[in-house]
Amino acid sequence: MAGSMNMLRLRKLILAMCAVAAVQQAFGQPTIGTLIMEPGANQDYVLFSPSGSETTYLIDKCGRHIHNWETEGRPGLMAYFMENGDLVRTRRHQTGQFLGGGIGGILERFNWEGDLLWTDTLATFSQHQHHDIAIMPNGNILAILWEKWSAEDAIERGQLPELASEEVWVTRVVELAPQPSTGSEVVWSWSPWEHLIQNTDPALPNYGEPSDHPERFDINFEAVAEAGGPGFGQEAAYDWMHVNSIQYHPERDEIVLSSRHWSEVWIIDHSTTTEEAAGSSGGQHGKGGDLLWRWGNPAAYGQGDEGDQTFFGQHDAQFISNPEGLRISAYNNGVGRPDGNYSTVQQIQVPLDEESGFAYPINGTFGPEAATWTYPTIPDFTFYSPNISGYTQLSDGHHLICQGAKGRFFELDEAGNLVWEYFNPITSTGPLAQGSNPVQNAVFRVTSIPTSHPGLAGRDLEPDTPLELNPLPLDCSVDLEDAELSEAVLLWPNPASYSLTIGNLRPAVPTNIKICDATGQVHWTGTVTHKATVDIRFWPPGMYVAILQRLKSDTHPATSITLKFLVQ
């Protein structure tokens, strides 16, 4: 007996020694914080809200603390940095009426100093905000809500009884006009519940074949009466569409949404009134609130089969300013791919007609046939996040990717080379120590904040220590003063109709801008240090040239570049 106990103690001692040795070995190489920082990485700051924390952080690419906002609740799930330095975030708030992935319920606005300026609670018996918001140029906010309906409501609209869950949470998008200090007014609204199609009962409303009405939502698609397994259980059945992102295109006055459960992204018209948005006429495209474009899973409207599906539980659909027209990007999580679970990020060139409207489906499906750009080009089964996550193409052509479930952020240059990599060290119990295994460190999405962002002007941006405990010395530096005026400067949109923005002006010294038409006539001049937004509503259509010249300083020579754009 004594011998057995001694053997047991010896075994435990050996295991403990192995564990210590593993930590010591890991401590020689960073496991969290900044792991890679190549010279080709840009100098942008990074904003993120760890899923288990009540704090939103701003860091530099060395992983050093620049600023943070302390709040009274976990994220629900997104935060945005405003041009005046305020932070607008969604906050997790549970009432017992809804319990689903991405639950929010409260919107908050803080100034740079962390004072709460405004709040609004969007959580009632029948509605609850979740996941994401989009902040519009006029200060209004687009929010995604769950709207509760019953099985009886669904059956009355053509859902098969055997597919009807006790509750049906239908997406509703609302535009909120914030009121002083607290609350908001709903000034616009849209819901797929007003754009259904069903082929089960000709005596019920909206009867027809989904394949003949790709602009509508098949009430029986992805409907299940019961759900189980890990996660949120039956709530996964209630959450019919699980829309997880929203973004607004101000020049086109359109909205893009991502539906995880349908594995699709959708574009809708925002130029409608609420009444028009509930119907199929009105708005700039004359289609009311019907879908203008959808992509990722043609089976959702009765076309194609599994081989035609491209998205698999995707997140973070975004508009991309593109000289060739309109692009959409998304983080394709890859849950349930036929060839195995792995993630990709993709860009899709949206087919437009001669008037920049959306091309109607050819051969029954919306184009294009395939994504325009995909990373990685070969499946990488180590690059996988089953949920959350995001992707943004940056103004310099680089790509910022958040592998959300692993809390991993990384940057690729234009050639697809890895130039920066970071693992979030913040968990629900606080920061991890360097050398620790990064677990429970999920992040919904990250946002790149250029050093030229106007919200940073005049702020104390002196780097502090990295967020992790016991950080290792890192050969890392961020040179903000030596950034050259280059082709990394972007102007958008192009073509433009209402306003033109010239941004990514990194240098601390001013930049002179002169805009001329093809005849040489000067239409606008100005001197800026961050970015310029120019009203072009009354400019004649045609080709224009923006000449940018950074002024000479004691440490930098004068440099200039020329950018062309089209006004239409």
pLDDT of residue 562: 78
* pLDDT surpasses 90 at 297: yes
CA distance 512 to 20: 59
* pLDDT surpasses 70 at 232: no
The residue among 494 and 382 whose pLDDT is bigger is 382
* pLDDT surpasses 90 at 433: yes
Contacts of 480 (CB under 8 A, 6+ apart): 43, 451, 506, 508
Q: Give tens-digit pLDDT for 329-369.
A: 999 999 999 999 999 999 999 999 888 789 888 778 999 99
pLDDT of residue 66: 97
pLDDT of residue 495: 82
pTM of the predicted structure, to 2 decimals: 0.83
* pLDDT surpasses 60 at 14: no
CA distance 313 to 386: 8
CA distance 488 to 468: 32
Average pLDDT over residues 254-270: 98
Q: Give tens-digit pLDDT for 524-540.
A: 998 887 778 898 988 99
Q: Which residues of 502-531 are buried (b: 16+ CB within 10 A; e: fewer)?
A: bbbbbbebbbebebbeeeeeebbeeebebb
pLDDT band at 220 (very low <50, low <70, confident <90, very high): very high
Beta strands in 432-485 (DSSP E): 443-449
Q: Taking a C-beta distance cutoff of 8 angstroms, is the pair 51, 486 a contact?
A: no
Question: Picking from 15-19, 135-139, 223-227, which range would have the lowest pLDDT averaged per residue?
Answer: 15-19
* pLDDT surpasses 70 at 7: no
Q: In the structure encoding, which two tokens stand for residue 129, read together?
A: 């905000």
Domains, the chain, with CATH or none: 490-567 (2.60.40.3080)
Which of these, 227, 350, 243, 363, lies nearest to 295 by C-alpha position? 350
Q: In the structure encoding, which two tokens stand for residue 483, read together?
A: 């950034």
Which of these, 82, 189, 171, lies nearest to 132 by C-alpha position? 171
CA distance 494 to 544: 11
Query: Which stretch of DSSP H or E encloses residue 6?
Result: helix 2-27
The residue among 367 and 18 whose pLDDT is bigger is 367
Amino acid making up residue 435? G
Q: Give tens-digit pLDDT for 147-206.
A: 999 999 999 999 999 999 999 999 999 999 999 999 999 999 999 999 999 999 999 999
Average pLDDT over residues 431-442: 96
The residue among 26 and 520 whose pLDDT is bigger is 520
Question: Picking from 112-116, 245-249, 458-462, 557-561, which range would have the lowest pLDDT averaged per residue?
Answer: 557-561
CA distance 228 to 235: 9
Q: Give tens-digit pLDDT for 382-399.
A: 999 999 999 999 988 999
Question: Picking from 108-112, 217-221, 323-327, which range would have the lowest pLDDT averaged per residue?
Answer: 323-327
Q: C-alpha dihedral over 471, 476, 480, 482, to 10 degrees?
A: 160
Q: Give tens-digit pLDDT for 399-409.
A: 999 999 999 99
pLDDT of residue 553: 57
pLDDT of residue 498: 83
Provide Rg for the chain, Cα atoms: 25
Q: C-alpha dihedral over 218, 250, 450, 47, to 10 degrees?
A: -40
The residue among 567 and 104 whose pLDDT is bigger is 104
